[in-house]
Structure 1
């Protein structure tokens, strides 16, 4: 009897609690908070965005989103070591930001650290659940540098299947283009 009464009290409590609790993650809240800076990046105003996220990092030092977007701005300004630092810090705060893995891989790739770049692109593909053509294309570029041509070709084909025209162009370039002689 007491168990039934307890269940009658616990079930409504759980239902009410479910509808009252905020379900947004800290990353979602930070994306809303830094929407102004994110819009600057989308408009390709990277200098202004870098200043914005410099201030955001000072005001919110535990925000993975602020560090990730500052890292993206540093990447666009070819400050690769600063980008790697910011993106590494962002991923240490929240390791589920898939774009940060790809951006970090691009920085490593630009520094010709191909093994590290491949590892980051691989993580980016995994975290984006195979739905990002950019991650596949960049991973293929790193694999080309590592002389993993069959796997690179597969990555490029998957990127093309996801709609990446740049990957289609790369597939028509050596070492993937095969000329048939009659």
Structure 2
């Protein structure tokens, strides 16, 4: 099996899915603890929920977005049950992923005949050139014309390494 086929095989996806499942379980465990033993939806519950989301590394902006939506839905739909709020929370989090996926898909669509420039930036030794090779191969497999250009010309063998990756991916 070729290098690129191994990288993009189903096993890689299974490993990613497994890792994401652990993260997802961890987040929802923290959130379910907030709801355990609660009898009503109140500001204290919302404050605890805010803390749980932030400590689950959801991020401040995303946490505020989720809480604003929950508050609006709880008011609009006149929910008073804690379990119903938990269900809404799950829906809101799922909705954010759907929004992000749709936005990312639209942003990544290449207009016919229009070039796309992807600049890869990072510290030394984190796999930028390897990732560039993988991206080049993926775009080539999707029928796109790919041209790689080296910007890291001060590092020894940087251009040679990029040439090797372009040959492996079958791109210019």
| TM beyond 0.5 | no
- Flag the structure with more relative contact order, 1 or 2, with Cα contacts below 8 A and sequence separation at least 6: 2
TM-score normalised over the length of structure 1 = 0.26
Higher helix content, 1 or 2: 1
